[in-house]
Structure 1
Amino acid sequence: MVSARLETLLKAGEFIVSAELTPPRHYDTTQFVEAANLVAPFVDVVQINDNLLSQARLSNLVAAHLVQQVGLEPVIQFTLRHRNRIALQSDLLGFAALGVRNVMVLGGYPCTIGTDPDAKDASDLSSVEAIASITRLTREGQFFNGDPIDPAPDFFVGTIDFPCVNPADLDSSMARLAAKIEAGARYIQVQAIFDLAPMQAWMAEVRARGLHERAHFIAAIFPFSGAKRLEFLQSVPGLSVPDDLLTRIRSADGEAESLRITLELVEGIRQIDGIRGLHMRSIGAEDWVPRIVEAAGLRQLLVSSAS
Structure 2
Amino acid sequence: MSVDLSLEPALRVRGIEKSFGDLRVLRGVDLDVAPGSIVSLLGSNGAGKTTLVRILSTLVAPDAGTASVHGHDVVDQPGRVRESISLTGQFAAVDEVLTGRENLVLVARLRHLRDPERVADDLLARFSLTDAGARRAGTYSGGMRRRLDIAMSLVGNPPVVFLDEPTTGLDPQSRIEVWATVRELARGGTTVLLTTQYLDEAEQLADRIAILHRGTIVQDGTLAELKALLPPATVEYVEKQPSLEDVFLALVGDAGDTDGTDGTPVTPTTTEGAQPAGEELR
When normalised by structure 2's length, the TM-score is 0.33
TM-score (norm 1): 0.31
* Bigger radius of gyration among the two: 2
Structure with bigger helix share is 1
Instruction: Identify which of structures 1 and 2 has the higher relative contact order when contacts are C-alpha pairs closer than 8 Å and 6+ apart.
Output: 2
